Amino acid sequence: MRDLFLSNCEKNFIQKIVSEGHRLDGRNYNESRKLNITFGSDYGSCIVTLGETKVLAQVTCEVVQPKQIRPNEGILYINVEISPMAAPQFEANRQTDLLVYMNRLLEKCYKDSKCIDLESLCIVVEEKVWSIRVDVKVINHDGNLVECASIATLSSLAHFKRPDITRSGDSVIIHTLSEKDPIPTVLFHYPVCSTFAIYNSDILLSDPNFLEESVCTSSTEEESNINGGLLVVGMNQYKEVCLLDLTGAAIYNTNIVHKAIMNAADKCKDIVDLVKKLIASDDNLRQKRVKINFSDIITTEHKMSLCKKDLNIKLKNYNVDNITKIDDSDEEMEKNCMEISKYDVVSAAIQHTAEMFSKKGGSKWIEISSDSDED
Amino acid sequence: MKVTIEDVVLPSDQCEEIVKAGESGRVILGPGLRKEIDGVFIVKAGVLKKRSPNTYWVESYQKRYVPSRSENVIGVVVQKAGDIFRVDIGGSCTASLSYLSFEGATKKNRPAVKIGDVVYGKMLNASKDMEPELVCVDSDGKKNYMGVLEDGFMFKCSLNLIRKILNPKCPLIASLKNEWPFEMAAGMNGRIWIKANSMRETIAVGNAILGSEYASNEEIKSMCNNIASILAGHNS
């Protein structure tokens, strides 16, 4: 993976602006970006967007032999993929630290917290069990991949239904979806990860975007930023902590973890409620045989809303809808434009090409050389 | 499919109009068009544009920069290697910038450029098979606004937005400069550097620039007014 290089001015600006109590996109410290979950036509496929970050998750199942030590339990397998589509600095088919880190976090959050009833996935003890595989693909990377991927994993797992089976003696029949209604996966609880960026060892930013994430983990030239880091808190809807992970600097202040957990508890509950609600309404629609697929995401308004409402750089009170309201002052403004600017602003962006200067005869070197030629 | 000027085009579309124009005189094919034996093909998705008398190109949404000669770009110094700096300009590979190509720089008097600095320069050389080369002086040896950009903030945007705000017909800079003082440098590689008196004003400039990407001229004017009033309301 090519390292993405941050300029000093970006680092300093973000540091300064965060310590002044603002964020680049006008959010408050504990405000998240807009979350959107869409389900695909298959069971267990969904796209989750968190601001500009976008993750696709797909759950599949197959019948395999169980592990020797756990003969009566199914298998859960989570696989994360990051391609150059997510961000240009990633390379295809290459294991990166981020990928391994995300894979491990998701496994901790969903496998080790025992949220899935693996015993219900057993078909014949020691012979056949269901193996459930979650493929998480990062489509766009704009920070907070862990949270987005965990929501995608959770909603696809909760949405997934495996085919029904009947056992008659030694043989096992797997029914197709048209023969028998499929069975949903049993989830004991719904864990969700949420990420916090720590600045100056006492400021917590929830749902950091890519720039905030990379600034708080990188060090500035004076090494003054050893106090930044990323804290991932995994929690379920009963406000139980399933996962705690810190990258970056050590925390000197225990209050900050406490604050993060309190913060995450409310957030996770809201997210889980949303996931449950969406799955219920999706189920309803499917029973009415309404066609559901990802094409619902693409609307003309969607394109505009992405570009206009979720600006990366935004003032706190800025609202797109206000723009059209003050059209009556247009004529007045045009007069203003004709006036000379109050401030002496020079546009440094005018294209000065070499040809333009040679036309003006600006370069003295050329003139001298041409003189000497004549001599 | 046959297409005409101002159509929305897709790769593999063909334009006969250009071929006809080519029979009577010279034609310049811009980005997104390619000449093959049996006609002119479109190789990018976008809108086919024409500029009289004979220039054709496809206008498409793009974020990745392809270096091209004599364009002004903004880059980040990523490495010092002997007497050149390696500058990340968002292209497929880094550009090289000699320490001698700054105003007043000599072998003894080296410019103060650190790793991580943002430089505004001009592409001197951008051939397909070689490392692009950047300079921070014009042909007179003057810096001409180029060089290291101090402080401020740099952000990335699409290449289309850069072209839009640099267009003389775009009212964005004209209406912004009446509201509050700021400095700005726009690189054709999709990076904009801005600096204003306060953090809030800097953000406001960035907000206005990004907000103008899909806005019409009238909307841009009212948006600038709107932002200025937010800024004034909060300051007072």
What is the per-residue pLDDT across A125-146, written as a single tens digit (0 to 9) for each? 888 999 999 999 999 888 899 9
Closest-CA residue in chain B for A340? B178
Query: Among A294, A368, A355, which Cα is nearest to A36's?
Result: A294
Are residues A202 and A249 in contact, defined by beta-carbon separation less than 8 angstroms? Answer: no
Report residue B148 as tokens: 């290291």
pLDDT at A3: 65
Query: Of the ranges A60-74, A102-116, A340-354, which one carries the lowest mean pLDDT score?
Result: A340-354
Confidence band of A94 (pLDDT split at 50, 70, 90): confident
Residues of B in contact with A88 (CB under 8 A): 64
pLDDT at A302: 53
pLDDT at A303: 52
ipTM of the complex: 0.85
Confidence band of A305 (pLDDT split at 50, 70, 90): very low
pLDDT at A366: 41
Residue A280 has pLDDT above 90, yes or no: yes
Are B199 and A311 a contacting pair at CB < 8 A?
Answer: no
Residues of A in contact with B116 (CB under 8 A): 5-8, 11, 221
- What distance in Å separates residue B84's CA from the closest CA in chain A? 18
Confidence band of A284 (pLDDT split at 50, 70, 90): very high
Query: Of the ranges A162-166, A322-326, B95-99, which one carries the lowest mean pLDDT score?
Result: A322-326
Closest-CA residue in chain A for B147? A348
Residues A289, B98: Cα–Cα separation, whole Å: 66
| pTM (2 d.p.) | 0.82
Are residues A56 and A40 in contact, defined by beta-carbon separation less than 8 angstroms? Answer: no
Are A9 and B175 a contacting pair at CB < 8 A?
Answer: no
Are B227 and A322 a contacting pair at CB < 8 A?
Answer: no
pLDDT at B5: 86
Report residue B60 as tokens: 């498409």
Are A20 and B207 a contacting pair at CB < 8 A?
Answer: no
Q: Are strands B133-135 and B95-98 parallel, antiparallel or unpaired?
A: parallel
Residues A66, A125: Cα–Cα separation, whole Å: 8
Residue A353 has pLDDT above 60, yes or no: no
Closest-CA residue in chain B for A338? B174
Which residue(s) pair with B134 in the sheet? B97, B123
Q: How far apart, in Å, are the Cα atoms of A300 and each of A168, B44, B109, B159?
A: 53, 21, 56, 22
Residues A297, A303: Cα–Cα separation, whole Å: 10
The shortest CB-CB distance from A327 to any of B186, B207, B222 is to: B222
Closest-CA residue in chain B for A326? B222
The residue-averaged pLDDT of A311-340 equals 51
Max CA separation in chain B (angstroms): 67
Residues of A in contact with B117 (CB under 8 A): 7-8
Residues A64, A61: Cα–Cα separation, whole Å: 9
Interface test with B, best of A2, A4, A5, A15 (most B CBs within 10 A): A5
Residues of A in contact with B88 (CB under 8 A): 5
- pLDDT less than 50: residues of chain B: 235-236
Query: Among A146, A252, A164, A130, which Cα is nearest to A208's?
Result: A146
DSSP secondary structure code for residue B12 in this structure: T
Beta strands in chain B (DSSP E): 8-9, 28-29, 33-36, 39-42, 46-51, 55-59, 72-81, 84-88, 95-98, 118-125, 133-135, 147-149, 153-156, 182-187, 191-196
Host H or E run for residue A45? strand A45-50
The residue-averaged pLDDT of A286-298 equals 80
The shortest CB-CB distance from A323 to any of B154, B210, B222 is to: B222
Q: Are strands B147-149 and B118-125 parallel, antiparallel or unpaired?
A: antiparallel
B17, burial (CB in 10 Å: exposed 0-12, middle 13-18, buried 19+) = middle
Mean pLDDT, rounded, of chain A: 79
Residue A190 has pLDDT above 50, yes or no: yes
pLDDT at A253: 79
Confidence band of A348 (pLDDT split at 50, 70, 90): very low
pLDDT at A350: 45
Q: Are strands B28-29 and B55-59 parallel, antiparallel or unpaired?
A: parallel
DSSP-derived 3-state class of residue A360: helix
Residue A226 has pLDDT above 90, yes or no: no
- Other C-beta atoms within 10 Å of A285: how many? 13
Counted across chains A and B, CB pairs separated by less than 8 A come out at 156
- What distance in Å separates residue B43's CA from the closest CA in chain A? 20
- The fraction of chain A above a pLDDT of 90, given in percent, is 34
Q: What pLDDT, in 10s, does the model give residues B159-210?
A: 989 988 998 888 898 888 888 899 999 999 999 999 999 888 898 899 889 8
Task: Report CA torsion sign: A253, A257, A263, A266.
Answer: negative
Burial profile B175-210: b = 16 or more Cβ within 10 angstroms, e = fewer: bbbbbbebbbbbbbbbbbbbbbeeebbbbbbbbbbb
Residues of B in contact with A333 (CB under 8 A): 175, 221-222, 225
pLDDT at B81: 86
pLDDT at B53: 81
Q: Any idea how long chain B is?
A: 236
The shortest CB-CB distance from A315 to any of B114, B175, B207 is to: B207
Instruction: Name the residue type at position A67.
Output: K
SS3 content of chain B, % helix, strand, coil (to 5): 25, 30, 45
Are B145 and A346 a contacting pair at CB < 8 A?
Answer: yes
Query: Of the ranges A102-111, A189-198, A335-344, B137-146, which one carries the lowest mean pLDDT score?
Result: A335-344
pLDDT at A222: 55
Residues of B in contact with A317 (CB under 8 A): 230, 233-234
The shortest CB-CB distance from B118 to any of A7, A304, A320 is to: A7
- The fraction of chain B above a pLDDT of 70, given in percent, is 99
Closest-CA residue in chain A for B206? A313
Residues of B in contact with A7 (CB under 8 A): 76, 116-118, 154
Residue A110 has pLDDT above 80, yes or no: yes
- Does the N-terminal peptide bond of residue B53 adopt cis geometry, omega within 30 degrees of 0? yes
Residues of A in contact with B76 (CB under 8 A): 5-7
Instruction: Name the residue type at position B178.
Output: N
- The fraction of chain A above a pLDDT of 70, given in percent, is 77
Residue A351 has pLDDT above 70, yes or no: no
Residues B179, A337: Cα–Cα separation, whole Å: 10
- What distance in Å separates residue A282's CA from the closest CA in chain B? 33
Residues of A in contact with B222 (CB under 8 A): 323-327, 329-330, 333
pLDDT at A320: 57
Residues of B in contact with A314 (CB under 8 A): 203, 207
The shortest CB-CB distance from B76 to any of A7, A351, A354 is to: A7
pLDDT at A91: 83
- With a CB cutoff of 8 Å and minimum separation 6, the contacts of A185 are A116, A117, A132, A157, A158, A160, A161, A162
Are residues A215 and A226 in contact, defined by beta-carbon separation less than 8 angstroms? Answer: no
